[in-house]
């Protein structure tokens, strides 16, 4: 993997291996720990612009930043109203953030049917207005999108050029259409077409579950960097593996994650979240199925580490 710093409108990342936004997963603790493992940039979960404008506490809670986080602070927002998007970008809630990423790639039916996420790829003039309005906030702006909405109509380069012309400082392309969601092969050619069309940095996303996957994605697209999504849920140590940083003791790392999540979010959140995450971490381990049953029956975080003593990562 060819490591390098990325210049995002004057913001410089420590490298070009990013943690992509993941709804329900990229909370403040997970972001900091992935950054410490080697990720060059991390993003919040996607945050509703309308929710921020209406002072929704649950929405605001997604914007927490862990003590000691040393990286560029990046928030992903979603919505389909240019004015709400601008108001959110200019809000005090987003004042601590250096970079705002606009979600134009979420394929989830609830988001798509509401005209948000990937639906914006079907209305380029609206997408352009949203980017232009957010840019007026003075923040650096990136856009995450897909290769298209359907397999019959892929237009990543056209959409990307519109984003750049509207003022985007970086784009991230998930190499699948909305129709494919998260399955099927990543379309290298579509991402490559974006790289050839733009002057701003292009980040490739999709199908990265090991260091070799990251290398393959870079080699086949010419992208400036990669963004790891689901691969980080299963294996957050992937950032150390890709960047060549030391891989920590995994059990000790999970213990730290439990403690930090508990401290910031409380016992109930930490229990639900860590049961889910540890289930991912032990995927493929001998006896994982039986262990998951026991894990999901726990009613305290205190029971997680004793179970991990039975696991050989």
- What is the Cα–Cα distance from 176 to 40, expressed in whole angstroms? 23
For the chain, give the percent of residues with pLDDT over 70.
Answer: 100
Where in the sequence of the chain do the CATH 3.20.20.70 domains occur?
Answer: 7-243
- What is the Cα–Cα distance from 56 to 138, expressed in whole angstroms? 24
Q: Model confidence over 234-281: pLDDT tens digits? A: 999 999 999 999 999 999 999 999 999 999 999 999 999 999 999 999
pLDDT at 313 over 80: no
pLDDT at 303 over 80: yes
pLDDT at 286 over 90: no
pLDDT at 312 over 90: no
- Tell me whether strands 11-12 and 7-8 are parallel, antiparallel or unpaired: antiparallel
- The predicted model scores a pTM of 0.96
**What pLDDT is attached to residue 183?**
87
Residue 106 annotated as catalytic: yes
Which long-range CB contacts under 8 A does 5-9 form with residues at least 24 apart?
5/40, 6/40, 6/41, 6/170, 6/201, 6/203, 6/224, 6/225, 7/201, 8/72, 8/99, 8/140, 8/142, 8/169, 8/170, 8/201, 9/140, 9/141, 9/169, 9/170
Please compute the mean of the pLDDT values over residues 7-25 and round it to a whole number: 97
pLDDT at 221 over 90: yes
Selected catalytic residue, list 34, 53, 75, 106: 106
Work out the pLDDT band at 160, boundaries 50, 70, 90: very high
**What pLDDT is attached to residue 310?**
86
Half-sphere exposure (Cβ direction) of 255: Cα atoms closer than 13 Å: 10
- What is the Cα–Cα distance from 28 to 264, expressed in whole angstroms? 9
Q: Are 185 and 147 in contact (CB under 8 A)?
A: no
CATH 3.20.20.70 fits 7-243, yes or no: yes
- Tell me whether strands 170-174 and 202-205 are parallel, antiparallel or unpaired: parallel
Work out the pLDDT band at 50, boundaries 50, 70, 90: very high
Q: Model confidence over 127-143: pLDDT tens digits? A: 999 999 999 999 999 99
Q: Model confidence over 169-201: pLDDT tens digits? A: 999 999 999 999 988 899 999 999 999 999 999
């Amino acid at each position: 993997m060819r490591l390098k710093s990325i210049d995002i409108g004057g913001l410089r990342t420590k490298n070009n291996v990013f943690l992509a936004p993941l709804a329900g997963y990229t909370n403040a603790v997970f972001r900091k720990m992935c950054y410490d493992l080697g990720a060059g940039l991390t993003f919040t979960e996607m945050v509703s612009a309308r929710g921020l404008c209406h002072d929704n506490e649950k929405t605001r809670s997604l914007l927490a930043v862990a003590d000691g986080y040393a990286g560029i602070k990046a928030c992903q927002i979603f919505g389909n109203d240019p004015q709400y998007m601008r108001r959110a970008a200019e809000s005090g809630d987003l004042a601590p953030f250096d970079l705002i990423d606009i979600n134009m790639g979420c394929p989830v039916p609830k988001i798509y049917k509401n005209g948000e996420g990937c639906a914006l790829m079907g209305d380029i003039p609206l997408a352009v207005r949203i980017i232009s309005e957010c840019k007026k906030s003075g923040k650096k702006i990136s856009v995450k999108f897909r290769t298209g909405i359907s397999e019959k109509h892929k237009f990543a380069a056209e959409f990307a050029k519109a984003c750049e012309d509207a003022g985007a400082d970086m784009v991230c392309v998930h190499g699948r259409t909305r129709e494919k969601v998260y399955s099927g092969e990543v379309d290298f050619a579509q991402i490559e077409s974006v790289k050839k069309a733009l002057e701003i940095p292009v980040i490739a996303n999709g199908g990265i579950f090991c260091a070799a996957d990251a290398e393959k994605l870079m080699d086949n697209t010419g992208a400036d960097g990669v963004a790891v999504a689901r691969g980080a849920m299963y294996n957050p140590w992937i950032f150390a593996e890709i960047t060549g940083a030391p891989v920590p003791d995994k059990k000790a790392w999970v213990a730290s994650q439990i403690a930090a999540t508990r401290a910031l979010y409380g016992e109930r959140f930490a229990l639900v979240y860590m049961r889910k995450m540890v289930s991912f971490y032990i995927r493929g381990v001998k006896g994982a199925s039986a262990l998951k049953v026991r894990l999901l029956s726990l009613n305290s975080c205190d029971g997680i580490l004793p179970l991990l003593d039975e696991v050989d990562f």
